[in-house]
């Protein structure tokens, strides 16, 4: 499956080393802070950050349960560029060069006030108040 490199507003389907280097070098920490290289929403490598402060990498390998991030969030542009170029070729030899942690995706607990039952009860209470006020 072909890979696509994307930023906030642009996607690149024809990848070469120069395109990857230019896209990563354009991450300025302002409007452009994210570049994603992947074949799908489930398989991708993502760089976050800027040239000035460095980058953190996220790697997802098929599901949210297999989502990892680098512990170092200030990786240099040159190294990240090399990693993206290798990833585009299917080379994962770089994975052992940095420390990774599993990204814990926490699903927020929904309180009773966010349930449909709460909305039904609230609407019934409002209807009752309107009925009482208009009935007098």
Under DSSP, is residue 91 helix (H, G, I), strand (E, B) or coil?
Answer: coil
Q: What is the pTM of this model?
A: 0.74
DSSP label at 66? G
pLDDT tens by residue, 68-119: 999 999 999 999 999 999 999 999 999 999 999 998 777 777 676 667 777 8
Rounded distance, CA 106 to CA 11, Å? 29
Task: Dig out the tokens for 5 from the structure.
Answer: 């490199």
pLDDT tens by residue, 15-68: 999 999 999 999 988 877 899 999 999 999 999 999 999 999 999 998 888 899
């Amino acid at each position: 499956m072909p890979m696509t490199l994307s930023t906030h507003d642009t996607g690149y389907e024809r990848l070469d080393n120069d395109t990857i280097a230019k896209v990563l070098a354009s991450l300025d920490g302002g409007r452009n802070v994210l570049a994603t290289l992947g074949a799908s929403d489930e398989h991708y490598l993502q760089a976050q950050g800027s040239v000035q402060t460095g980058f953190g990498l996220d790697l997802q390998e098929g599901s949210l349960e297999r989502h990892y991030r680098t512990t170092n969030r200030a990786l240099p542009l040159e190294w990240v560029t090399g990693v993206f170029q290798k990833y585009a070729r299917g080379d994962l030899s770089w994975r052992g060069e940095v420390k990774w942690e599993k990204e814990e995706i926490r699903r927020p607990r929904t309180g009773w006030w966010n349930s449909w039952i709460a909305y039904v009860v609230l609407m019934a209470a409002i209807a009752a108040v309107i009925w009482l006020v208009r009935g007098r």
